[in-house]
Structure 1
């Protein structure tokens, strides 16, 4: 592996700042390990970018199936990495605490492979329907497809909640579809089909047979079958915590976080993001003073803020990313 030559690495520095503000000890191990792996493969890529992106031409026609493994873990530039990992920090922390580390790791592996597989099927279908070979040659790279699948799952656990997208309230049932359209309109260089593949994989898990199939497969490798309840390490009660005696699919009443003020007044985007993180850190301290175990998750309103900033920043840096030769996911 050869280290990647970059400029100022501002995206990496912002990501490192956020990680240390949240606290590495407050990030569950699987989420932290996946973050670390993505950063490592950005600095020391397993292969050049055009040899890690996935397309029908490269994967199916030429047999480059290892791209299904490499594509989600490589990024076009440090801003692409920063946006995806900042979003994953929130989603991964909340979902790993709810599902438990082993199942969350299993989920990430399945989502990563299936997102790439569904992407290939969609691009192949478009090629047949339109007789346009450019769909088969479209090469996508990045973690965003997996993030869309995780977003569908996260929203599934909070069906009555509302997320603000670009200042507009959107029900969690539809927010993934709204963001799919907005990202493509604001940043045409992103992979619409890659993001759509992630949404479909998330729906296969929440509404389709994927969850049952995964549990069945997990039962084959354990003597007593898989217990989907989180381990005690992640069952701390807190602002968004779940107790161990809840059933696996238990969804608590909608939670309204104590910090509901807008972060946008007079602040830059980085300062808005830092304010959201500081509020979450302050909440951890208040929970500890009340005698509750420190929550590892972060508030849904803060996650929505990160997603809104991510949408706006994608457009700003899209022109630079398109010059790198890979389509972002």
Structure 2
């Protein structure tokens, strides 16, 4: 896996333009730090993509566990970075204001690691169930698994709204599944398992035990994370931004 060269990084320029259009002062600190971190690793990757992408073969069989940390923050090209970070910008603004910066940072770190673990489990299960070793070699990179998990949270807080998926109104409770299908209909080469892993992690948080486990692990710091601090409210319509409607994530 090698980073595709497109000459001028148009996607990066568009992303920076969008960030400055929103206004750096209007972006909560953890969201801004996540954007900066992803941009930094795009411009200064710690390792080549083929050494940072996540696969069962490389991570589990060869014990290269550092890929769990590297893969979410490396992107295949500038457009991959743009679509992911444009989506992160709006999700982060909404969720960080609702959850509070400390808890949101905790969520980002937990989702980044756990999405990778679930992805490895899904690819391993597919390889075993279908007797197809190729699934063990599938190598994913990018932040989109985490974004799908955040999308589940976003839609969870707008239970009665609708999302606009490729021009069709979809109830928020089904929006993630509809977008999962839409993305892989438009771009079959994307990682279905990577995106599905994000949805499953999000559901583990909103309907499963993950949130309770995170609170227990946070211990004495949980009282400072303002989980219940609903400073702002989501748009009641629950419609997604254009980056969510049109993006083709290359996870």
Matched position secondary structure for 1:141: coil
Q: Once the 2 structures are TM-superposed, how far is the Cα of residue 224 of structure 1 from its aligned partner? A: 6.1
Partner of 1:38: 38
Do 1:165 and 1:304's aligned partners in 2 also have CA atoms closer than 8 Å? no
Which residue pairs with 1:178 in the alignment? 178
Report the CA distance shift for 1:135/1:29 in structure 2 as closer, same or farther (over 3 A): same
Shift of 1:121: 0.4
CA distance in 2, matches of 1:88, 1:180: 17
Partner of residue 290, structure 1: none
Cα RMSD, aligned residues only? 1.9
Q: Is the 8 A contact 2:158 2:236 kept in 1?
A: no
Unaligned 5+ runs, structure 1? 236-240, 243-251, 257-299, 315-327
Matched residue, 2:138: 138
Q: Deviations over 1:254-309 (max 9, x none)?
A: 735xxxxxxxxxxxxxxxxxxxxxxxxxxxxxxxxxxxxxxxxxxx43x3332122
Q: 1:45 to 1:223 in 2, by over 3 A?
A: closer
4+ residue runs over 4 A deviation = 223-227
1:19 corresponds to:
19
Find the aligned partners of 1:162 and 1:223 in 2 and give their Cα distance. Answer: 32
Identify the residue that residue 286 of structure 1 maps to in structure 2.
Answer: none
> In the alignment, which residue of structure 1 is the partner of 2:227?
228
Q: CA deviation at 1:166?
A: 1.0
Please list, as runs of the form range in 1=range in 2, the aligned pairs for 1:63-212 lying within 5 A after superposition.
Answer: 63-212=63-212
Aligned partner of 1:304 in structure 2 is 241
CA distance in 2, matches of 1:228, 1:32: 19
- What residue is the counterpart of 1:10 in the other structure? 10
TM-score under structure 2 normalisation?
A: 0.94
Q: CA deviation at 1:91?
A: 0.3
Structure 1 residue 130 displacement after superposition: 1.1
TM-score (norm 1): 0.72
**Counterparts in 2 of 1:271-310, with a 5 A limit?**
300-301=238-239, 303-310=240-247
Give the C-alpha shift of residue 229 in structure 1: 3.0
Q: Kindly tell me: are residues 126 and 30 of structure 1, through their superposed partners in 2, closer, same or farther at Cα, counting changes over 3 Å?
A: same
Residue 40 of structure 1 deviates from its aligned partner by 0.4
In structure 2, the partner of 1:52 is 52
- Among 232, 236, 247, the alignment partner of 1:255 is 236
How many residues are aligned here?
A: 248
Cα pair 1:218 1:225 within 8 Å, conserved: no
Secondary structure of the residue aligned to 2:169 is strand
CA distance in 2, matches of 1:8, 1:180: 30
Rounded Cα–Cα distance in structure 2 between residues aligned with 1:28 and 1:106: 14
Whole-Å separation in 1 of the counterparts to 2:216 and 2:131:
39
Distance 1:90 1:168 in 2: 21
